[in-house]
Amino acid sequence: MTATAEESVELTRVSLTEIVIPVRNEEKTLARSVHRLRDYLVRNFPYPFVITIAESGSVDGTCAIGTALARDIPEVRFVHLDARGRGLALRHVWASSRADVVSYMDADLSIDLDGFLPLIAPLASGHSDLAIGTRHARGSSVQRSLLRAVLSRTYNLILRVVLGVSFSDAQCGFKAGRREVVQAIMPAVHDDQWFFDTELLCVAQRQGLRIHEVPVDCLDDPDSSVDIGRTVLDMLRGVVRVAGRRVTRAFGAPLPPHLHRSRLPVGPARRFLRFAAVGAVTGLLHILFYVMFTTVMPALAANAAGLFLATVLNTAANRRITFGVRGRHEALRHQVRGGIAFLLGLACTSVSLLAVGSGVSRTVELAVLLAGDALASLLRFALMQRWVFVPSRRQDGREAVR
């Protein structure tokens, strides 16, 4: 792996933005695109910038053209990598960058450049950690083939369903990030091909980083050299790999303390609403379990078994959703303390069932059970807020040391 750069490019200016153009066999479009981008930035972009051509594995005249552009244009530098891979090229340049903001765009400049300043502004101000162009937001204008549109929509739907992402367009070739954030999370990104930036976004979201989306106008290049079939397979393999790492919890990278964003505590009203939503779901599960178990055991035993399962799920869901506790630490202790809530719920629902007796209809029986659940839920909320999820003294001590 070798690298060359135009020494006249100063990389330590305040608010410097580095725009990487990863290329392979782009001799037909490279010079035109670089001149167009440079001229646009000189006229319209308020921050200092450097354009880095990151070439990997070309077999045409791309290297010679890139070297000539870096020699002739002060704001351009050229980096050559022997190995192939868009992700590898981005990783190599971003890892050694000293710019305040790092970004990339595709060599065909298919995204309207008027979207570049809105992409960079929230990063330069410190408001966001990463920014992406999206072709799927209201206000975007896209002209592309039906096949590409369907594949893009399908891919992003898979990401939402399988990986639970919230960003709308993972593969738009128009992304940027604060350099220190990108460099901090890149060690957790394993892919070096087309899935690189999708995985980067998944890691960022997992870390709770702020991802800003910018609606963009896009005109796809009909002569693109991208192998669609191979790219789709690479991306699907990437989704499977990330899903597997999430299951085994081998996903993510620790952020330096100064990159953590402070979060406002959830207010009492919102916390109670979250608790109520979780309680409604687990209450219905309790009823479902009860109906199932009454086919093989007495009502009181069925209630106890169903309530136990529902309480375990309720404690786990409230731990994460209502009280924002992450990770495995003290999860067992929380479940043990939640067992007290189970006993309270068991007492309320069992007394309710005993009070109505065995001669009532199933509708009345279930209504009474729900009423007992509702009463137990109020007691459970007070317990969770004041005891179950209150950190232990040992944990408080560790946090104070940190």
Task: Provide the 3-class DSSP secondary structure of residue 19.
Answer: strand
Q: How confident is the model at residue 236 (pLDDT cuts 50, 70, 90)?
A: confident
CA distance 346 to 339: 10
pLDDT at position 266, please? 55
Average pLDDT on 314-323 reads 81
More confident residue, 154 or 373: 154
Average pLDDT on 54-66 reads 94
Mean pLDDT for the chain overall:
83
More confident residue, 328 or 93: 93
Q: Is the pTM of this model over 0.75?
A: no
Kindly report, residue by residue over 115-144, the tens digit of the pLDDT: 999 999 999 988 999 999 999 888 888 887
Q: Which residues pair with 117 in a beta bridge?
A: none
Contact at 8 Å (CB) between 214 and 254? no
DSSP annotation of 162 reads I
pLDDT at position 37, please? 97
Q: Give the CA dihedral 325, 326, 330, 331, nearest 10 degrees.
A: 90
Measure CA 127 to chain center.
17
pLDDT at position 69, please? 97
pLDDT at position 13, please? 39
pLDDT at position 332, please? 82
Average pLDDT on 190-214 reads 91
Using alpha carbons only, give the angle 41, 42, 48 rounded to the nearest 5 degrees.
Answer: 80
CA distance 286 to 357: 20
Q: Which fold has domain 17-259?
A: Spore Coat Polysaccharide Biosynthesis Protein SpsA; Chain A (3.90.550)
| Domain range annotation of the chain | 17-259, 268-401
Share of the chain above pLDDT 70, in %: 86
H/E segment holding residue 306: helix 299-317
Residue 392 has pLDDT above 80, yes or no: no
Using alpha carbons only, give the angle 272, 278, 283 rounded to the nearest 5 degrees.
Answer: 115
DSSP annotation of 105 reads E
Least confident of 51-60, 154-163, 222-231, 325-334: 222-231
Residue entry with tokens 């070297």: 67
Residue 47 has pLDDT above 90, yes or no: yes
pLDDT at position 229, please? 67
Average pLDDT on 40-62 reads 95
CA–CA distances in Å: residue 9 to residues 48, 50, 77, 211, 296:
11, 7, 7, 29, 78
Residue 89 has pLDDT above 60, yes or no: yes
Residue 399 has pLDDT above 70, yes or no: no
Kindly report, residue by residue over 275-294, the tens digit of the pLDDT: 888 888 888 888 888 889 88
Q: Which residues pair with 22 in a beta bridge?
A: 54
- CA nearest neighbour of 34 among 87, 95, 78, 96: 78
